[in-house]
Amino acid sequence: MQEHFHFTTDQTKIQKQYAALFFFVSAQLSQIQFYLQRRNRHLTKQEDAVIIAIHLLGKLLGFSSERAWHRFVEGNLFTDGQF
C-alpha cells in the first residue's frame, strides 16, 4: 500500500533550508567544476547545484518516493514553473 506524506513544516522554512543547501553545494561544486569533463553542457535545463541541493533536501526531509518529492518541489519551492 502506498504511503501518503503529510507535511507540516512551514514553506518559508523549507525555502530557507533549500537556499542554505544551494549556496553550500554551489560553493563546493565551483571548486571542482574545472575537473569535470562533461559533454552536452549546453543542453542542460537546470544547474547541477540545483539538482544536487534538491536531492539532498529531499533526503533530509525523509521523502522515499521520487515522484512525491517532485510534486512537493513543484508545489512548494518552484511555484512559478521554473523546475
What global pTM score does this model have? 0.72
Whether 21 maps to a domain, the answer reads yes
What residues contact 29, with CB distance under 8 A and at least 6 apart? Answer: 48, 49, 52
Per-residue confidence at 47, pLDDT binned at 50, 70, 90?
Answer: confident
The predicted structure's pLDDT at residue 24: 92
Q: What is the pLDDT of residue 49?
A: 85
Residue 72, pLDDT above cutoff 90: no
CA distance 13 to 16: 5
Number of domains in the chain: 1
Mean pLDDT of 15-40: 82
- Is residue 39 in some structural domain? no
Within-domain flag for 5: no
